């Protein structure tokens, strides 16, 4: 059902389940999307955002079915265009909490242009990009984030496209909020979505999401209990970049390049790069987005969270200022302004 069960009395406090639309969820069993949906409902409940104030806009792809499963306003739109549709919603209704749900194909391939412009404008919306590094809905072609050499149905001899590192792109667009998290790391996922919701400006969140059918295990390094402490690095504002099972490794700056160092032997946490998500310049955030396996652990968490003017606010502020300085417009006055003449009967 696309309709809601709105006739039930409004509870005093919305539980995660109150945000469920009741429509059967039709992702493949074991899909990472389930975890994201569950965390989203939890976050919305913990923030107690009224359901009618929420608008979820998506494009096309597995991830883009998301809005159907939430008892909010929503639009499952056309391929790649969700950021532009969300821009229209937010521009005229800044009071709404607007979310864009997209994937690596939808957001980075066909919708890449809208994504970068949405981010640079810094509308106060949240963009969650489910990155599974594959085209799932069309059954297994390589995507813009598939690694070089990836063998898929459309690249039997291996993908020859260089992959796009979306967080580098987001930082390049001077995104005011950039984060990465992992579908099954539920606590971290919830934390990041919560931070995104609270951030004022475009929040861009990349979720490493497992496609169990066409790209299973693509992010095993980040989910496997054995490897994830070595293969990922959890960012914390104001803290040095430490990782490893025994938290005995860190990232040090060598000139302009990061390097992995082992703590001990004269190297202490004081020598390490300290994370600053509020740095005005995006250079540090960019450097972090460039850290990839196998040379580096892949950072997860909030890369950047800065305050920057928001497009929707500025747009509506211009309207307000124009009314204040020029007075509310009167069409009869406008039409008869300037050179006019009267034809007498």
Stretch that binds other proteins, among 181-189, 240-248, 250-258, 320-328 (CB under 8 A): 320-328
Among 47, 92, 148, 151, binds other proteins (CB under 8 A): 92
- Pairing relationship of beta strands 257-262 and 249-254 according to DSSP bridges: antiparallel
Q: Are 133 and 143 in contact (CB under 8 A)?
A: yes
Please tell me whether residue 344 binds other proteins under the rule CB under 8 A: yes
- The DSSP line for 173-237 is TT-SEEEEEETT-HHHHHHHHHHHHHSSS-EEEEEE---TTTSTTTTHHHH-TTTHHHHEEE--T
2: helix, strand or coil: coil
157: helix, strand or coil: coil
- Site map for other proteins, 49-88, x if CB under 8 A? -xxxx-x-x--x------xx--xxxxxxxx--x-xxxxxx
- The continuous run of DSSP H or E covering 129 comes out as strand 126-131
Please tell me whether residue 1 binds other proteins under the rule CB under 8 A: yes
Stretch that binds other proteins, among 1-9, 27-35, 158-166, 259-267 (CB under 8 A): 1-9
- The continuous run of DSSP H or E covering 242 comes out as strand 242-243
Half-sphere exposure of 303 (CA within 13 A, CB side): 33
Among 11, 238, 266, 327, binds other proteins (CB under 8 A): 327
Q: How far is the CB of 164 from other proteins (least distance, A)?
A: 18
Please tell me whether residue 117 binds other proteins under the rule CB under 8 A: yes
Q: How far is the CB of 234 from other proteins (least distance, A)?
A: 35
Q: Considering the complex, state which of residue 52 and residue 307 has its C-beta at the smaller distance from other proteins.
A: 52
How far is 246 from 236, CA to CA, in rounded Å? 17
Question: Tokens standing for 110?
Answer: 């066909």
Please tell me whether residue 9 binds other proteins under the rule CB under 8 A: no
Q: How many residues does the chain have?
A: 345
Q: How far is the CB of 301 from other proteins (least distance, A)?
A: 30
Q: Considering the complex, state which of residue 34 and residue 68 has its C-beta at the smaller distance from other proteins.
A: 68
For residue 106, what is the DSSP state? I
- Site map for other proteins, 128-167, x if CB under 8 A? ----------------------------------------
Q: How far is the CB of 299 from other proteins (least distance, A)?
A: 29
For residue 30, what is the DSSP state? T
Q: Considering the complex, state which of residue 93 and residue 153 has its C-beta at the smaller distance from other proteins.
A: 93
Please tell me whether residue 318 binds other proteins under the rule CB under 8 A: yes
- Pairing relationship of beta strands 249-254 and 232-234 according to DSSP bridges: unpaired
The dihedral sign for the CA sequence 41, 74, 48, 97 = positive
Q: How far is the CB of 78 from other proteins (least distance, A)?
A: 5
Which residues in this chain contact other proteins in the complex, by CB under 8 A? 1-7, 10, 21, 23, 50-53, 55, 57, 60, 67-68, 71-78, 81, 83-93, 95-96, 113-114, 117, 315-316, 318-319, 321-323, 325-329, 331-332, 334-336, 338-345
């Amino acid at each position: 059902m696309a309709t809601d069960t709105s006739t039930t009395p409004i509870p005093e406090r919305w539980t995660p389940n109150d945000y469920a639309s009741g429509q059967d969820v039709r992702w493949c069993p074991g899909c990472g999307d389930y975890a994201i949906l569950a965390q989203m409902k939890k976050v919305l409940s913990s923030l107690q955002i009224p359901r009618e104030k929420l608008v979820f806009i998506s494009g096309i792809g597995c991830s883009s079915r998301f809005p159907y499963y939430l008892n909010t306003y929503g639009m499952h739109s056309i391929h790649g265009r969700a950021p532009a549709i969300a821009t229209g919603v937010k521009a005229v209704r800044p009071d709404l909490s607007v979310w864009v749900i997209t994937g690596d194909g939808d957001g980075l391939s066909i919708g890449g242009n809208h994504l970068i412009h949405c981010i640079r404008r810094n509308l106060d919306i949240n963009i969650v990009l489910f990155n599974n590094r594959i085209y799932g809905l069309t059954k297994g072609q390589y995507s813009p984030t598939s690694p070089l050499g990836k063998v898929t149905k459309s690249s039997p001899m291996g993908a020859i496209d260089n992959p796009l590192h979306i967080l580098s792109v987001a930082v390049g667009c001077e995104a005011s909020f950039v984060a990465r998290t992992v579908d099954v790391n539920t606590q971290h996922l919830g934390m990041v979505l919560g931070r995104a919701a609270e951030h004022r400006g475009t929040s861009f969140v990349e979720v490493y999401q497992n496609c169990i059918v066409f790209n299973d295990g693509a992010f095993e390094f980040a989910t496997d209990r054995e490897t994830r402490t070595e293969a990922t690095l959890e960012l914390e504002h104001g803290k040095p970049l430490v990782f490893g099972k025994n938290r005995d490794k860190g990232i040090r700056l060598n000139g302009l390049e990061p390097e992995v160092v082992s703590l001990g032997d004269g190297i202490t946490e004081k020598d390490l790069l300290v994370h600053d998500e509020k740095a005005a310049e995006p250079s540090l955030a960019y450097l972090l987005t460039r850290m990839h396996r196998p040379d580096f652990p892949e950072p997860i968490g909030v890369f950047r969270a800065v305050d920057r003017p928001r497009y929707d606010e500025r747009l509506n502020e211009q309207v307000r200022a124009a009314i204040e300085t020029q007075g509310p417009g009167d069409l009869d006055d406008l039409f008869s302004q300037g050179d006019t003449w009267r034809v007498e009967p």
